[in-house]
């Protein structure tokens, strides 16, 4: 069943209104409401929802341009088609400048005239739906990016060594609003074992989200998020649907982190007890067999707690990796959806390159999530997988351009792997796009060495090379500017050799976990 487009058609000629309504509705795509003047049309717009407006220019009381101006100020971007017998150029320009979607001159045979009008209505309505869809996706995309930033900072807060549980919970409370749509109006309270941790000035409102903290089948606390800003639309809450999922993910991270803190507590206690037993044994000279038994019991208990502690830490890190990976995938999908509505080749190209950058970041978390090594990533595996994705994206056959890597058993933490991966992504993308024109054959070579916390990286292609007269350090290329920024973030330096194709050499400082 076709969903009819609701159209309001305004004209002071009743005969033309009747013919237009008949022909448009006969097409099977439209439901048409008619009005003989703009004020009547405005009353209809106030009472119902319409997909498009068709308006004559010359009408009593309010002409078509005045009506258009009123519509834009009160009813937003609803598609508006000026359909008039007046073909004056000044009217056309004024209509377009005031936001008309189309200007169509009427006259002649009604059948082709209204067939053309029907086509213009369809185009205008489809365009409006596309704009609304992209706007909604952009909001969700922005929220996903906010969530990612919040998750990265959250992961840093809960993994900071030597921080007591109280301080860690307060840090998490202070961070949580930054992941929401309206952080300035978002307040948070965490209750754990009857102790409260809140953002400054926390207060409840009619808009609240709550989630329990369950440990070992028992509710030990809650996380509460409250929206305290003005909100006119009482039919829907200010929280996005994705924010419910975000809160549940945060609670899961908190639960695992609290369990990790609890698991680490007995170790310190065992360590203190062991010191007492040993010191007591030396002064009191107890039975040697009893001392060995006590030491063995303590050692086994410590080993068990260490094992449980490691398990809790791996669960926590795995949960973070999975959450970030899923968010990055969601961002990638949203960009993919947006690309379907874009016709500008330059914009489309930029969007696809952004998707590749997101895929490069997501790949780190994907490899870590699937790997038994939960904190460090095998750089050789990462680089080769990243290269495979880029070769497929640019439609490059490995028989034409080969990839050689020399990366012997180098493992990096997430904070270092992501910028290194993005550097490789940008340099390899540039090579695949520009270095081998006319389907030339060639090779890309990547070599990495690690000494202590210093990385030496070489990236070389055997292509046509960067022009000698190009100032490569002052380029408009977003990819190269991003490379410079990433190198700077890693407190490194970069050089270029143009004598044999293109060869970048970098020295980078590994980031702390």
Instruction: Extract the tokens encoding 352.
Output: 């696809």
Question: What does the pLDDT read at residue 311?
Answer: 57
CA distance 37 to 310: 76
pLDDT surpassing 90 at residue 466: no
Q: Evaluate if pTM is beyond 0.85.
A: no
Pinpoint the alpha helices (H) of 159-240.
165-175
Question: What does the pLDDT read at residue 280?
Answer: 44
Question: What does the pLDDT read at residue 70?
Answer: 94
Instruction: Please name the residues in contact with 403: beta carbons below 8 A apart, sequence gap of 6 or more.
Output: 384, 387, 391, 443, 444, 445, 446
pLDDT band at 282 (very low <50, low <70, confident <90, very high): very low
pLDDT surpassing 60 at residue 323: no
DSSP state of 179: G
Instruction: Please name the residues in contact with 381: beta carbons below 8 A apart, sequence gap of 6 or more.
Output: 367
Question: What does the pLDDT read at residue 482?
Answer: 84
CA distance 93 to 91: 5
Contact, 420 vs 412, CB < 8 A?
yes
Rg of the chain over CA atoms, in angstroms?
Answer: 32
pLDDT band at 194 (very low <50, low <70, confident <90, very high): confident
Mean pLDDT, the chain, rounded, equals: 80
Highest mean pLDDT: which range of 82-86, 483-487, 506-510: 506-510
Question: What does the pLDDT read at residue 199?
Answer: 93
pLDDT surpassing 60 at residue 98: yes
| More confident site: 350 or 308 | 350
| More confident site: 406 or 274 | 406
Domains of the chain as residue ranges with CATH: 5-107 (3.40.50.2300), 134-321 (3.30.450), 375-509 (3.30.565.10)
CA distance 304 to 228: 47
pLDDT band at 278 (very low <50, low <70, confident <90, very high): very low
pLDDT surpassing 80 at residue 270: no
Contact, 236 vs 206, CB < 8 A?
no
Nearest to 455 by CA among 380, 373, 511, 383: 511
Q: Where are the beta strands (DSSP E) in 140-194?
A: 186-192
Question: What does the pLDDT read at residue 272?
Answer: 43
CA distances in angstroms from 451 to 126, 383, 455, 512, listed in the order given: 58, 19, 7, 15
pLDDT surpassing 60 at residue 218: yes
pLDDT surpassing 60 at residue 325: no
pLDDT surpassing 60 at residue 252: yes
Choice among 111-125, 242-256, 478-492, 498-512 with the minimum mean pLDDT: 242-256
**3-class secondary-structure state, position 169:** helix
Question: What does the pLDDT read at residue 291?
Answer: 47
Average pLDDT of 185-189? 92
Choice among 245-249, 294-298, 366-370, 494-498 with the minimum mean pLDDT: 294-298
> Which residues on neighbouring strands pair with residue 509, listed in sequence order?
454
pLDDT surpassing 80 at residue 338: no
**52-55 and 454-461 strand pairing:** unpaired
Highest mean pLDDT: which range of 65-74, 205-214, 254-263: 65-74
CA distances in angstroms from 414 to 152, 324, 368, listed in the order given: 10, 12, 9
CA distance 251 to 215: 11
**Which H helix or E strand runs over 392?**
helix 379-393
Highest mean pLDDT: which range of 91-105, 231-245, 371-385: 91-105
pLDDT band at 215 (very low <50, low <70, confident <90, very high): confident
Burial of 293 (0-12, 13-18, 19+ CB in 10 A): exposed
Highest mean pLDDT: which range of 276-285, 322-331, 474-483: 474-483
């Amino acid at each position: 069943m076709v969903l009819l487009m609701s159209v309001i058609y305004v004209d002071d000629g009743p005969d033309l209104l009747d013919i237009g309504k008949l022909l448009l509705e006969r097409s099977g795509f439209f439901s048409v409401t008619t009005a003989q003047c703009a004020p009547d049309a405005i009353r209809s717009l106030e009472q119902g929802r319409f997909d498009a407006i068709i308006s004559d220019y010359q009408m009593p009381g309010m002409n078509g341009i005045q009506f258009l101006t009123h519509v834009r100020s009160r009813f937003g971007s609803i598609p508006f088609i000026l359909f008039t017998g007046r073909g004056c150029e000044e009217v056309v320009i004024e209509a377009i400048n005031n936001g008309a979607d189309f200007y169509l001159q009427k006259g002649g045979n009604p059948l082709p005239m209204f067939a053309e009008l029907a086509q213009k209505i369809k185009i205008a309505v489809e365009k409006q739906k596309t704009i609304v869809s992209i706007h909604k996706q952009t909001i969700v995309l922005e929220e996903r990016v906010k969530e990612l930033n919040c998750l990265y900072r959250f992961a840093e807060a809960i993994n900071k060594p030597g921080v007591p549980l109280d301080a860690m919970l307060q840090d998490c409370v202070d961070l949580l609003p930054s992941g929401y749509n309206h952080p300035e109006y978002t307040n948070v309270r965490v209750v754990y074992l009857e102790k409260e941790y809140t953002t400054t000035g926390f207060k409840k409102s009619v808009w609240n989200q709550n989630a329990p903290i369950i440990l070992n089948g028992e509710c030990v606390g809650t996380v509460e998020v409250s929206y305290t800003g003005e909100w006119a639309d009482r039919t829907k809450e200010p929280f996005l649907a994705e924010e419910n999922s975000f809160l549940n993910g945060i609670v899961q991270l908190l639960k695992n982190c609290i369990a990790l803190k609890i698991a680490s507590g007995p170790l310190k206690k065992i360590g203190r007890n062991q010191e007492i037993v040993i010191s007591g044994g030396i002064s009191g000279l107890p039975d040697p067999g009893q001392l060995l038994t006590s030491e063995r019991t303590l050692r086994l208990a410590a080993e068990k707690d260490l094992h449980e502690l490691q398990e809790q830490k791996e669960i926590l890190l795995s949960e973070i990796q999975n959450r970030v990976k899923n968010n990055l995938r969601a961002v990638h999908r949203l960009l993919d959806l947006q690309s379907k509505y874009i016709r500008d080749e330059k914009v489309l190209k930029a969007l696809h390159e952004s998707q590749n950058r997101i895929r490069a970041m997501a790949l780190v978390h994907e490899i870590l999530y699937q790997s038994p090594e939960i904190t460090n990533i095998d750089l050789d595996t990462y680089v080769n997988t990243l290269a495979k994705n880029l070769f497929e994206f640019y439609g490059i056959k490995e028989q034409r351009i080969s990839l050689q890597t020399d990366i012997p058993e180098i493992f990096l933490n997430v904070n270092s792997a992501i910028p290194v991966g993005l550097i490789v992504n940008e340099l390899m993308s540039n090579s695949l796009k520009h270095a081998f024109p006319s389907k030339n054959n060639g090779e890309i070579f990547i070599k990495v060495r690690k000494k202590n916390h210093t990385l030496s990286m070489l990236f070389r292609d055997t292509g046509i090379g960067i022009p000698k007269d190009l100032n490569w350090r002052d380029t408009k290329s977003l990819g190269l500017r991003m490379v410079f920024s990433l190198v700077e973030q890693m407190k490194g330096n970069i050089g270029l050799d143009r004598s044999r194709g293109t060869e970048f050499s970098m020295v980078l400082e590994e980031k702390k976990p």
